Chains A and B, each alone.
Chain A
Amino acid sequence: MLAILQEALLGSLSNVLQIALIVIPLMIFIEIIKDLNWLHYLTGVLAPFTRWMKLPQEAGLPLMAGLFFGISYGAGIIIQAAREGTLSSSDIYIINLFLVICHSVFEDTILFAAIGAIWLPVLVYRLVLAVAVCAAISRFWPGFPERLFRDRAKAT
Chain B
Amino acid sequence: MGWDTILRGTKNGLIITWELARVVIPVFFCVTILKYTPVLPWISQHMVPIMKLLGLPGEASLPLVLGYFLNIYAAIGAMLPLGLSVREITIISVMLLLAHGLPMEAAVAKQTGTPVTGLILVRIILSFLSGYLFNLLL
Contact = CB atoms under 8 A, between A and B. Distances in A.
Interface of A is mostly: helix
Size category of the A interface is 35 or more
A48 interface: no
A72 B105 CA distance: 8
Contacts of A75: 108-109, 111-112
A35 B1 contact: yes
Interface string A59-86: 0000000000001100100110010000
A101 B9 contact: no
Interface residues of B, number: 52
A16 B9 contact: no
30 contacts: A4-B33, A5-B29, A7-B81, A11-B28, A15-B76, A16-B20, A16-B21, A23-B17, A24-B9, A26-B13, A27-B12, A71-B105, A71-B109, A78-B112, A79-B111, A92-B112, A92-B113, A93-B114, A96-B112, A96-B114, A100-B109, A101-B122, A101-B123, A108-B72, A108-B97, A118-B138, A119-B93, A122-B93, A133-B122, A152-B115
